[in-house]
Chain A
Amino acid sequence: MLSKIVRTVTNEFMLFILVFGFYIIAHGHLTPGGGFQGGAVIVSGVVMLLVAFNSQELKKTLHERVLSIMESTGALIFIALAFAGIGTAFCYNFLVGSPIFGRIPATGPNPGDIWTGGVIPLMNFAVGLKVIAGLSAVVLAMALFSSGEEIEE
């Protein structure tokens, strides 16, 4: 565990990293970025927490079981959305034109609208959830393993 200054600054920065990561995920269909990139941003914040506190301390708040459930939920949403358009074709974007995320922007450069994109924002959300949970679980498991205190037998 690092000094109190580092821990306080990390706690303050974590909020901004979370907001920035969720912004990248939510605006994936308007601005550069998307689920993978925003998830990686948030996981970098988790790694920062892991450096500032140690893995034993972080384990009390981030449970691996919860992370596994989050990752599986993201994968299930992804698959379900891919199968939901199977009336036309697998992976068909069936929400374009519907009231939910269905607006169609003008062709050419324009500022855009958050309610566009069909299933793309929902897919971004699912993939973001998956990347956050999956990579956090991987990093946490590796840190706990290399700390060597949890290895039984």
Chain B
Amino acid sequence: MRRITGLIALIVLVGFLVWGVLPPIMHDFGYPDASDMDDYIIQNAQEETGSNNVVTSVVFDYRLLDTLGEATILFTAAMGVLLLLRTEKRRKEGS
């Protein structure tokens, strides 16, 4: 029973993936959809942020909120590891 369910799920998944790359849905290979945002950032990044490295100006200026989440993930991971694997002696109970 589980095998049949898994087979059906696999067929549905493969069908969905194949449907996703059919020509009416996916645009021609190699041609991006719209490049307005890219053009704007390439034209104005140096003037607006003063940074020569446009990738850094996107990561640390235009999309700083995204980087904030990234840093939060790192902070949480380090905090969890230090909490679980702490090396200081644990205090005995009741003292």
Contacts and interface: CB of A to CB of B under 8 A. Distances in A.
Interface string B3-39: 0000000000000000000000000000000000000
The B interface, classified by DSSP as helix, strand, loop or mixed, is helix
B68 A78 contact: yes
Contacts of B61: 91, 93, 118-120
Interface string B47-63: 11111110111011100
Contacts of B52: 29-30, 105, 110, 112, 116
B71 A144 contact: no
Contact of B78 (A31, A91, A138): A138
Q: Which of A36, A91, A101, A108 has the most CB of B within 10 A?
A: A91
What size tier do the contact residues of chain B reach?
A: 20 to 34
A68 interface: yes
Contacts, number: 124
A117 B71 contact: no
Contact of A107 (B46, B59, B64): B46
Given A28-B56, A137-B82, A96 B64 contact: no
Contact of A105 (B50, B67, B87, B90): B50
A82 interface: yes
Contacts of B56: 28-29, 34, 117, 120, 124
A141 B87 contact: yes
Contact of B71 (A127, A138, A142): A127
A132 B57 CA distance: 22
Contacts of A133: 78
Given A112-B52, A134-B77, 9 more contacts: A28-B53, A34-B53, A64-B82, A79-B68, A105-B52, A120-B50, A120-B61, A124-B56, A130-B75
22 contacts: A29-B57, A29-B60, A64-B87, A64-B88, A68-B82, A75-B75, A79-B68, A90-B65, A91-B64, A108-B46, A110-B52, A117-B49, A118-B50, A120-B49, A120-B60, A120-B61, A123-B67, A134-B77, A135-B74, A137-B82, A141-B87, A145-B87
